[in-house]
Amino acid sequence: HTPELTPTDKVPECAIAVDVLRATTTMATVLAAGGEAVQVFSDLDQLLAVSEKWSGEKRLRAGERGGSKVPGFDLGNSPLDCTPELVQGRRLFISTTNGTRALQRIQDAKAVLAAAFVNRAAVVQYLLEKQPETVWIVGSGWEGSFSLEDTACAGAIAHSVAQQTKLSQDELAGNDEVISAIALYSQWQDNLLELLHLASHGKRLLRLNSDEDLKYCSQTDILDVLPIQQEPGVLMSRK
Ligand code: MLT
């Protein structure tokens, strides 16, 4: 049951999308705040066309490109905007540069989850309970490249699973990616905000004055919520 970071050609039993900065943090926040569902789109026009059928009271449209809000959308991708007053009972239609695409790529897995530091414990709890045979943890990165914060979050999940199942070092042997991710998390676990400040996308967001978002996204285990796919592209909170 060792989590794997690199997708093989098979569809896994469980696939977990990670985009700490900020898409999966935002999704967890919306569902924890009482949002009805989160529906993801890689394409902005498709988002507009599908959400058109929903009443203005029921829908919220979030669009982010390059870290900034897309003009004409209700929201960008800041989790801090997703207050209970705003999101309660509403569906968030969201398209972001990388995070929503990662989710779409893994949507054929039997179980599809969204994870970030904020809901790490809920994701780990699910893995311990269901014990899926194969797990992919898919970091969203930035336009295809490696992401420090997503790898650290994958490490945070793997670290906790390994600890709670008393997995020995030998049992992890051969899985270079998981060992690296756990090592990265172990080094930074008490300093995640600093790690986000070092990360390339963290620096991009700081240039856009999103310091408060970084602080929020660096918190571990603060939301007891598990965003899980109900139909392709639609995530709801697991009851
Ligand atoms: C993404 O999906 O690329 C990110 O969530 C970007 C962002 O920080 O808004």
pTM, rounded to two decimals: 0.94
Ligand 1 in contact with 96 (CB < 6 A)?
yes
77 lines ligand 1 (CB under 6 A): yes
Q: What is the pLDDT of residue 141?
A: 79
* Residue to probe by mutation, ligand 1, list 42, 98, 148, 218, most atoms within 8 Å of CB: 98
Q: Determine the angle formed by the axes of helices 176-188 and 148-164, rounding to 10 degrees.
A: 100
Give yes or no for residue 8 having a pLDDT over 60: no
**Tens digits of residue pLDDT in 109-140:** 999 999 999 999 999 999 999 999 999 999 88
The proportion of the chain whose per-residue pLDDT surpasses 90, expressed as a percent, equals 86
Band of pLDDT at residue 194, cut at 50, 70 and 90: very high
- What residues have CB less than 8 Å from 39, skipping those under 6 apart? 50, 51, 91, 92, 93, 94, 233, 234, 235
Does the pLDDT at position 5 exceed 70?
A: no
- Give tens-digit pLDDT for 42-67: 999 999 999 999 998 999 999 999 99
pLDDT band of residue 156 (cuts 50, 70, 90) is: very high
Give the pLDDT band (50/70/90) at residue 143. Answer: confident
